[in-house]
């Protein structure tokens, strides 16, 4: 099974991704995590990525494709992948289709975690205290949210038209949200 996890920053994608991967034996691919790993390596590419991520803008599709391919080549899980934070715009969704074709995989569902804007801000400012991510501050968050609405949200309609959308209420206890997801995935 191959899934995409979609949702605004702070919706809880990372938390739910780990649980879904554990339950369904999928490999977690978080482009955000892969980018943060690359910046820690302090390579030239890493330094370039760092300033973009810290401003809340999107890293170029070319860089994303490069790090994704590298990860997929090194992680051959025939059981499937969960893409978290990718695709984030229309061009990336086309790149994903191409990538999946190349490895003979098909997309089974797109989970959309739905959370209202006020709650997102609360959650992210709390996460800043726990994790110290440089892009978790109010100003950068507004930029991330704006980009989400402009570039990522339109994907919801595309996947809805392809009958792949699984819309989940992301408000509630972590385990409660996870249960909602599992119930829908079990009936796929």
- Which runs of consecutive H residues, i.e. helices, occur in the chain? 13-24, 31-40, 44-55, 61-74, 90-102, 117-131, 138-147, 154-161, 174-186
Q: Is residue 152 within the footprint of ligand ADP (CB under 6 A)?
A: no
Site string for ligand ADP, 107-136 (x = CB under 6 A): ----------------------------x-
Nearest to 135 by CA among 56, 32, 76, 25: 56
| Whole-angstrom distance, CA of residue 167 vs CA of residue 160 | 9
* DSSP class per residue in 79-119: T-EEEES---SHHHHHHHHHHHHHTT----EEEEEE--HHH
Nearer Cβ to ligand ADP (113/165): 113
Q: Is 177 in the site for ligand ADP (CB under 6 A)?
A: no
Rounded Cα distance, 37 and 29, in Å: 12
- From CA 2, how far away is CA 79, in angstroms rounded? 8
Residue with tokens 């339109």: 154
Q: Which of 101, 102, 97, 77 is nearest to 27 (CA)?
A: 77
What positions carry a catalytic annotation?
Answer: 13, 88, 127, 133, 144
Applying CB under 6 A, which of residues 9, 12, 109, 170 lies at the interface with ligand ADP?
9
Say if CB 133 and CB 127 are below 8 A apart.
Answer: yes
Count of residues engaged in binding ligand ADP, rule: CB under 6 A: 19
The answer to whether 29 contacts ligand ADP (rule: CB under 6 A) is: no
Among 4, 58, 107, 165, binds ligand ADP (CB under 6 A): 58
Q: Does 53 bind ligand ADP (CB under 6 A)?
A: yes
- One of 6, 86, 165, 170 touching ligand ADP (CB under 6 A): 86
* Candidate list 4, 21, 32, 39; residue touching ligand ADP; CB under 6 A: 32
Confirm or reject binding of residue 181 to ligand ADP (CB under 6 A).
no
Closer residue to ligand ADP (CB): 89 or 178: 89
Chain residues that interact with ligand ADP, rule: CB under 6 A: 9-10, 13, 31-32, 35, 52-53, 56-59, 64, 85-86, 88, 92, 135, 144
């Amino acid at each position: 099974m191959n899934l995409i996890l979609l949702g605004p920053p702070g919706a809880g994608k990372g938390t739910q991704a780990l649980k879904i991967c554990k339950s369904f034996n999928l490999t977690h691919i978080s482009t955000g995590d892969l980018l943060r790993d690359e910046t820690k390596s302090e390579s030239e590419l890493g330094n370039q990525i760092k300033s973009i991520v810290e401003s809340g803008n999107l890293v170029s599709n070319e860089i994303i494709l490069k790090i994704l391919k590298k990860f997929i080549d090194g992680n051959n899980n025939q059981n499937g992948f969960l893409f978290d934070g990718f695709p984030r715009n229309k061009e990336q969704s086309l790149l994903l289709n191409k990538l999946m074709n190349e490895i003979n995989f098909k997309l089974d569902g797109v989970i959309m975690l739905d959370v209202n804007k006020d709650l997102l801000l609360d959650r992210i400012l709390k996460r800043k205290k726990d994790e110290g991510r440089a892009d978790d501050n109010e100003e950068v968050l507004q930029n991330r949210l704006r980009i989400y609405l402009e570039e990522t949200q339109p994907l919801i309609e595309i996947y809805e038209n392809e009958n792949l959308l699984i819309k989940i209420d992301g408000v509630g206890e972590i385990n409660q949200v996870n249960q909602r997801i599992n119930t829908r995935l079990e009936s796929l």
